[in-house]
Amino acid sequence: MRDVLTDANDAAIARTVIALARSLVLGVVVEGVETEGQRAFLAECGCGLDQGYLLGPPVPAEQLRL
């Protein structure tokens, strides 16, 4: 995710992986989302599930609120 906004090859890879998963009827959770721009890119690609420092730092399982 880090360079999808600045590197055309990284963006193409991300789009391709998302498209492949969708064609196989699989869900996609993108890891490493750190900016709103990255999140917007994912939304444009049809992926709405993400995780990363944008949402919060890693925490022990006991601290998760589900």
Q: By percentage, how much of the chain surpasses pLDDT 70?
A: 98
Distance CA 2, CA 59 (A): 21
Question: Would you tell me how many other CB atoms lie within 10 Å of the CB of residue 5?
Answer: 13
pTM above 0.75, yes or no: yes
Say if CB 53 and CB 31 are below 8 A apart: no
Active-site residues: which are they? 31
Low-confidence stretches of the chain (pLDDT < 70) are 66
